[in-house]
Homo-oligomer: A and B are copies of this chain.
Amino acid sequence: MTITQLKYVLSVAEYKNFTIAAEHSFVTQPTLSMQIQKLEDHLGVLIFNRSKKPIELTDVGLKIVEQAKVIVNESNRIVDIVHQHKGFVGGEFKLGIIPTVMPTLLPMFLNNFTKKYPKVKLIIEEITTEEIIKKLSDNHLDAGLAATPLENEMIKEMPLYYEPFVGLIPKEHRLFHKKEIESSELEMEDILLLEDGHCFKDSVINLCRTYNTDNNRGFKLESGSFDTLIKLSKEGLGMTLLPYLHTLDLSEIDKKLLRDFTSPQPAREISLIYHKSQLKMQLVEALKNSIDGVIRGAISFSDVKIISPLQKKAN
């Protein structure tokens, strides 16, 4: 039994297809077929049920695959140990970022990070939280940036910052003439929200507890961008909440519609997330340090309203 054989098994288990699995393993299909046969012979069991299309795992196959994942992960860790010892921070690092964080956070740390760690080849992908979770589990991503908490057993979270929401109130709205809004004044019925990241831990105002996605407003919002939200809001379909960093590039006219919240402000928690197996942890730590650095210094977080939630949480 070799680690290579186990990797081939994992590849077939993932793609349910020998040919595709072979491509992803950078070998030809017969190579992969033979090695898997050899392993099956050695163990005296069939791992795959080849009669089903697409190929299925046998009962033992399922258990073997789970154990193979453990073994392959643990062997990858050897390289981590060596890198850590050499103080080497490098290699490929695949990072997934949710769309609503990408444009604001990426420009802030990318330069800083690539300068500090020139040996790292950052591969960044803009994908949804759900896909990040899936890809972290499959080892197709090394880490992700998303709104937390996720409450997923497989995934560890490293909170980076808390980004307060600012209200965007259309002219006709009942709260338009207020200078500041209190959370208690919010009527969940007339707020437009993205699914993305409005659930929080206890210490922050938790919008998702009161926010009902099955509202009786007559339409359901599936948009992934705040731009759509802003337009809908200005059409008079209700107020909305924008993450603070997204309000910075609004037009002067639109900025007039913004209303801050009184403390405690609603906010979203943005975290660096990674698989519980904690592979490539030096890289994850390096990324966290880079982001921490820019958040503390580079951005104008002199603003009291942003600093306060940050300070609350920063232990």
Residues of A with Cβ closer than 8 Å to B?
1-4, 43-45, 59-60, 63-64, 67-68, 70-71, 74-75, 77-79, 81-82, 85-86
Which one of B44, B77, B82 lies within 8 Å of A60 (CB-CB)? B82
The answer on a CB contact under 8 Å between A82 and B43 is yes
Give the nearest-CB partner of A58 in chain B.
B85
Given A3-B1, A3-B2, residue A78 in contact with residue B86 (CB < 8 A): no
> What residues of chain B lie closer than 8 Å to A78, measured between beta carbons?
1, 43, 64, 67-68, 71
- Each complex incorporates copies of this chain amounting to 2
The answer to whether A71 and B74 touch across the interface, beta carbons within 8 angstroms, is yes
Q: What is the bound-complex CA distance between A68 and B71, given in angstroms?
A: 10
Whether A82 and B70, one on each chain, are in contact in the complex, defined by CB atoms closer than 8 angstroms, is no
17 intermolecular pairs with C-beta atoms under 8 Å apart: A1-B3, A1-B78, A2-B2, A43-B78, A43-B82, A44-B82, A45-B86, A60-B82, A60-B85, A63-B81, A63-B85, A64-B78, A64-B82, A67-B74, A68-B78, A70-B74, A71-B71
On chain B, the residues within 8 Å of A1 by CB distance are 3, 75, 78
Residues of B within 8 A of A82 (CB): 43-45, 60, 64
User: Complex Cα distance A63/B85, Å?
Assistant: 9
Residues of B within 8 A of A71 (CB): 71, 74-75, 78
Per the bound structure, the CA–CA distance linking A77 and B60 in Å amounts to 13
Least Cβ distance of A281 to chain B in Å? 13
Contact B81 A64 (CB under 8 A): yes
For A67, the chain B residues whose CB sits under 8 A away are 74, 77-78, 81
- Given contacts A1-B3, A86-B44, are A60 and B75 in contact (CB under 8 A)? no
Residues in chain B near residue A60, CB distance under 8 A: 81-82, 85
In the A-B complex, the 9 residue pairs with the smallest Cβ-Cβ separation, listed nearest first, are A60-B85, A71-B74, A43-B82, A63-B81, A70-B74, A71-B75, A45-B82, A67-B78, A67-B77
Cβ contacts under 8 Å, A45 to chain B: 82, 85-86
Q: Which residues of B contact A74 (CB under 8 A)?
A: 67, 70-71, 74
Rounded to whole Å, the gap between the CB of A8 and the closest CB of chain B is: 14
In the bound assembly, the distance between CA atoms of A158 and B18 in angstroms comes to 44
A77 to B64, CA, bound (A): 9
